[in-house]
Structures are given as structure tokens and as C-alpha cells.
Amino acid sequence: MIPRIERIHDLLASISLDEFDPAADLLPLAHQDRFGALEETINLFALQLDVTVREHRGTICELEASRRELQDKLTTIEEQARRSGRCRRRWSSCGTTCWRCRSSAWSTRAAPTR
């Protein structure tokens, strides 16, 4: 019984250390007793967890790629706004630079009061 418990311990350790390999780490199902049923349940849990972790990693990679793409677009928009001399935050009604940036329009117009 002790070697079987040690195998369960090793399996759970490999899962917790993110070193689980389904081809190598699953428990052998050599016994048809109640403890064997527990081993089978743990194997099923380990396989389902592995699938879930792989799916989540894929989703995380997609989200990170999307975030990088959006950041690149935002950088492009900010650069275009800087080149045009206009603020990206808020534009005044006449289309000149907004008062918050305190740029060229600041010297010719008073800042709006709140």
C-alpha cells in the first residue's frame, strides 16, 4: 500500500510543480480494489486538469496577443495626435488643441471654468 500512496504523492507533486506529463505520470491501475478506484479517480482528475490548464494557457496567449495589438494601435493613435498637435483626450469645440494640454491654444484662449 505504501508504494501506491507514494505514486499518488508523486503524481500530485508533478501537477503542483507544473511538470505533469500524462504519458508518463499517470498512476498504473493494476489493482481492482477500493484504493484502485481512488487511483482511477485521481488519474481522471489529473487528465481533466491537464486539458483545462492547456486550454487556459491558449486563451491567455490569445489575450496577451490582443493586448499587444491594442497597445500598438493606441501608440499609433497617440503618435498621430502628437504630430497633428491635437490632444487625444478632449478637443475644444473649434477643433484646436484642448485646454488640458496647455499647448498653442492655451496662450490665445482662457481655460474653461467648471
Asked, for residue 96, whether it belongs to a domain, the answer is yes
pLDDT in tens, the chain (114 residues): 688 999 999 999 999 998 888 888 888 888 889 998 999 999 999 999 999 999 999 999 999 999 999 999 999 988 888 888 765 555 544 555 554 555 544 444 455 555
Domain that holds residue 101: 2-108
What is residue 48's predicted lDDT score, i.e. its pLDDT? Answer: 94
Burial of 39 (0-12, 13-18, 19+ CB in 10 A): buried
CA proximity to 46, closest of 20, 23, 78: 20
27 domain-assigned: yes
**For the chain, what is the domain count?**
1
C-alpha cell at 25: 505520470
User: Is there a domain that residue 99 lies in?
Assistant: yes
- Residue 64, in any domain of the structure: yes
* In a domain? residue 114: no
